[in-house]
Structure 1
Amino acid sequence: MANPFVARSLHRRLSVALGSLALLVGLLGALGAYLVVRSLGNQFNDDLQEAAAAVRRTPATPPTLPGGAPLPAKNVVVQVWGPGDGARPGHTSDPGVTLPRARPGFSSLEAGGQLWDAFALQAGDAYLQIAEQRRVRRVNAWRVALWAALPVVALLPLLVLIVHVTVRLSLRPLERLGQRAARADLNHLQPLEDKEAPDELRPFLDSINRMMDRLSTLIEAERRFIANAAHELRTPITAMQLQVDNLRQATPADRDGRLDELQRGIRRTASLIAQLLGLARAEMGGAQNAPQAVSLPQVVTDVIADLLPLAIDCGVDLGAERLDDISLVCAEADLRVLVKNLIDNAIRYGGAGASAGADGADCRVDVSVLREGASAVIEVADNGPGIPPADRARVFDRFFRGGAPDEEGSGLGLAIAQTLAANHGGRVTLAARPDGASGVVARIVLPIQ
């Protein structure tokens, strides 16, 4: 069970520790100042008492020390002028100090090279004047300052040690978290958990843990991708090895046919490798070309023109149905690959390589460019056999072909399309035709910037 008196907040913990130290130093400084001021008060009382007891009529000659030196002046001097007194007071506490008669109230006097702070008032027939040396006040001020600073200076090593220990103990959870983060690698992406971590680090730890979860997911996906790619490449490479062996043993009459088979195998393998590289580039999110304003109808018509020979070979009627004038700011090369993969997929799998659709009509692939609010939509509709609802969620998985008869397919086209659309803030969806006929409608939805 956690101790309720232990602060979980780094800010609170340091504030309490350093505030307590500051309070301790302040109390010790106040205690030293109090002792000094009380000592000064007692000294001032003694001076007043001595001055009051020494007030007497001024002698003709001030007393001197043996050897003729005058007595040192007292700190406080009390002088009284009677009605018949002249410039010199009739009574004084220090005959050795001759201060002029000051005006009533506070004033500064100078005598014997010393400055005095005096207060004078009229008391009946008498005129009273009390003076104190300014030097004494300065000395007393320095004494107070010294005693106030003495605790700080005396406790400075202890303060440094306590601050060092407090900060080190408070930051120890950071050291443990840093060590755990340093041990993380591709095989150990465990979340960073520390129940003693300060509250201020919780948002940072949550961000690090979410990042590790994403990295773990991506690494696992890449491992599956590599395993699937190795599996997919093993079959055509093995087939080509067998074809080469058969070609060596083939008769001159069979050699041309074996060479055609080998050429088709090489073409399929090259297409698979090209799609693997395209998927890797798409998932890295690094477009080869800088984003620029691209006319979406122009891209769609160019892709249709490029794929028209394939559509003719597959017996598919390929054309554009509606082209709204829309421009997007994106990488044109990525947009072309995105549109091409969906139309190519519709030709190969929607037409199913046959000369007629599922309902006996001619196979058609219609492409449209639509504006829907702040989004641009590219629709590719076919009237082929369609996709079972159970497979629609899986067709975007890598290497999934759903039993399609096209042996040259790699199952990567829709995966690449979905990745490229996500890189541009969009998505790709597949749905049944809204008119109830057989076939699939593929939609690319991209934001208009």
Structure 2
Amino acid sequence: MSLRRRLLWSLGLSFVFLWFSVAAIMYLHLNQQVVKTLDQRLASSANMVAGLVARRPEMLITSNAANPLLLEPESKSVACQIRSVTGEVLLQTSGARGASLSDSPPGYSMRTIGGDQWRIYTLQQDEMFITTADRMSDRRKLENSIILVMVVPFTLAFLGGLAVLWWGVRAGLRPLQYLHDQLRQRSSYNLEPVRVGSAPSELKPVVETLNGLFARVQRTVAREQRFASDAAHEFRTPLTGIKTHLQIARRVTGDRQQLALTNAEKGVVRLQRVTEQLLMLARLEQGVPCQEEAGSRVEEILENVLADLPDRSRVRIENLVPGETVGVPLTLASVALRNLIDNALKYSVKECLLAIDTEPAAGHGASVRFLVQDSGLAEPSVSDGAVEPSSTAAPVSHGLGLTIVETITTQCGGTLVATYNDMGGMDWLLHLPLASKS
């Protein structure tokens, strides 16, 4: 069931229940008040007749005791009788109804006269009984008229309330329907932010969360596209080299053949390294980075990085924090730093600088800062400024290795920031958290 129908049903049923409860209470109360008012009117009539008789007692003297009259012609809806304590009728309305009021007990009572029910009130005063009566059918007509006057506007208000409720629910959920229409008509490639005009305050967090999700998906898609491009490039280069050197080795002999085979072997080694990088990236994406305990000394990281590094002489190291321990597994820290140095050597015509120092606690705690600086392959063409490696860094400075570095830093609580330097290259700042001292 849709949210609109659920709201309409829940609110509508609650609305109907409340209104019918109020209507029932009002009907019962109004019916009691009408009956009470009519009974009071009946008693007031008897008191009025008693007052008139008390002021004009000569009214009781009649020349025709066999047919005492109070009113002529005969009334169809009311009747009255005055009788003595001995039962003698002194005055009465004409017809059978007046004569049928005899022997009525004092107070209110009901009697059937001529097939109609009558409401009777008898008042005892001095030596007389004064009886007044109303026909119940006429009283019910009056009651129904009064109730009808109450029910008609009540019913109109009830129906109008339901219509306003239906309109209010539809109008209130219109932004949600607009959001639904936007998402339904959107293509799978459209990751632009959703815009709902005058969205209510309750819907704004949903829209903001949805737009945040679209932004993260867009960054992920861009990263995956960049990763696919980098991986294809990383595979294409060694495969092309291996194919070329094998073709040369097939055509030549002697030392030239051995040189071609050696170069093909180097291509295989590079291809193997790329495959290992891909496997490590897959393990990092699955959230199982390493089985070893977190924590590695800076000297151990440098030893692992420089062990089989080509062009070792082109790397100048300035270690200002000997003995410090990084709160990252040794394998991951070594892979991250090795990839940064490989990237710097690849895109540098001069030597590269590796400077290591600590950074005071700020926000997430103290960290070890690894600065990898390259001189670039050409003169700088972009003004200095901070550049995020995952978004606006130079394309030539990106590769499969940097994607792994970004993944490692994200999972280990570190950061990676790139800035252009004055030499035309880039400064890669890798921040890894310090291990807690027990």
TM-score per shorter chain, which class? 0.5 to 0.7
The answer as to 2:86 corresponding to 1:60 is: yes
Query: Aligned Cα RMSD in Å?
Result: 5.6
Instruction: Provide, for residues 50-71 of structure 1, a one-character-per-residue CA deviation record: whole Å limited to 9, x for no partner.
Output: 2214546752249897799868
Match of 2:409 in 1: 421
Q: 2:198, 2:353 → 1: CA distance? A: 65
Q: Which sections of structure 1, spanning at least 5 residues, go unmatched?
A: 1-9, 81-88, 97-139, 358-362, 403-409
Q: 2:45 aligns with which of 23, 37, 50?
A: 50
* Residues in 1 aligned to 2:124 and 2:329: alpha-carbon distance in whole angstroms: 101
Distance 1:35 1:446 in 2: 82
- Tell me the SS of whatever aligns to 2:416: strand
Identity of aligned residues (%): 21
- Structure 2 stretches of 5 or more lacking a match? 51-81, 90-97, 111-118, 134-141
Q: 1:378 aligned to 2:377? A: no
1:243 maps onto 2:241 in alignment: no
Distance 1:42 1:322, change over 3 A: closer
Query: Which residue number in structure 1 is paired with residue 179 of structure 2?
Result: 177
SS of match in other structure, 2:190: coil
TM-score when normalising by structure 1: 0.56
Is the counterpart of residue 445 in structure 1 residue 422 in structure 2?
Answer: no
- Name the CA shift for 1:308/1:332 in 2 (closer, same or farther; >3 Å): closer
Contact 2:46 2:122 in 1 (8 A): yes
Q: 1:241 to 1:272 in 2, by over 3 A?
A: same
Q: Per the alignment, do residues 214 and 299 of structure 1 end up closer, same or farther by CA in structure 2, a change over 3 Å counting? A: same
2:304 partner SS = helix
- Cα deviation for residue 47 of structure 1 reads 0.9
List aligned pairs for 1:57-206, cutoff 5 A. Answer: 58-61=84-87, 72-73=109-110, 76-80=121-125, 90-94=127-131, 163-164=165-166, 166-195=168-197, 197-198=199-200, 200-206=202-208
Assess if the C-alpha contact under 8 Å between 1:395 and 1:401 holds in 2: no
Q: For residue 178 of structure 1, report the CA deviation from its aligned partner.
A: 1.5
Change over 3 Å in CA distance of 1:384–1:262 after alignment to 2: same
Aligned mates of 2:331, 2:279 — CA distance in 1: 14
Q: Is the 8 A contact 1:291 1:332 kept in 2?
A: no
- Cα distance change, pair 438–254 in 1 and its aligned pair in 2 (3 A): closer
The residue aligned with 2:64 is: none
Cα deviation, residue 370, structure 1: 5.4
Q: 1:396 aligns with which of 379, 389, 392?
A: 389
Question: Which runs of structure 2 are paired with 1:325-404 in the superposition (5 Å)?
Answer: 325=324, 328=327, 334-342=332-340, 365=354, 367-369=356-358, 371-372=360-361, 375-380=365-370, 396=389, 400-401=395-396
Alpha-carbon displacement from aligned partner over 1:311-351 (angstroms, at most 9, x marks no partner): 586235768542365564x6665444334434555677779
Deviation of residue 304 (structure 1)? 1.8
Query: SS in structure 2 opposite 1:294?
Result: coil
Distance 1:443 1:274, change over 3 A: same
Number of residue pairs aligned between Structure 1 and Structure 2: 356
Q: Does 1:288 align with 2:288?
A: yes
How far apart are the structure 1 equivalents of 2:389 and 2:179?
39
Q: Aligned residue for 1:6?
A: none
Change (3 A) 1:236 1:430: same
CA distance in 1, matches of 2:371, 2:161: 78
Partner residue, 1:323: 322
CA distance in 1, matches of 2:150, 2:405: 76
Cα distance in 1 between the residues matched to 2:417 and 2:198: 46
Distance change in 2, residues 1:289/1:396 (3 Å): closer
Letter in 2 for 1:269: L
Shift of 1:414: 4.1
Find the counterpart in structure 1 of residue 56 from structure 2: none
Q: Determine helix, strand or coil for the equivalent of 2:294.
A: strand
Judge conservation of contact 2:389–2:416 (CA < 8 Å) in 1: no
User: Secondary structure of the residue that 2:335 maps to in structure 1?
Assistant: helix
Q: Distance in 1 between matches of 2:360 and 2:289?
A: 25
- Structure 2 SS opposite 1:193: coil
Deviation at 1:242, TM superposition (A): 2.6
Q: Which residue does the alignment assign to 1:234?
A: 236
AA aligned opposite 1:167: V
**Does the Cα contact within 8 Å between 1:370 and 1:378 map onto a contact in 2?**
yes
> Per the alignment, do residues 147 and 293 of structure 1 end up closer, same or farther by CA in structure 2, a change over 3 Å counting?
farther
| Residue in structure 2 matched with residue 309 of structure 1 by the alignment | 307
In the TM superposition, residue 262 of structure 1 has moved relative to its aligned partner by: 1.2
Matched residue type, 1:304 = L
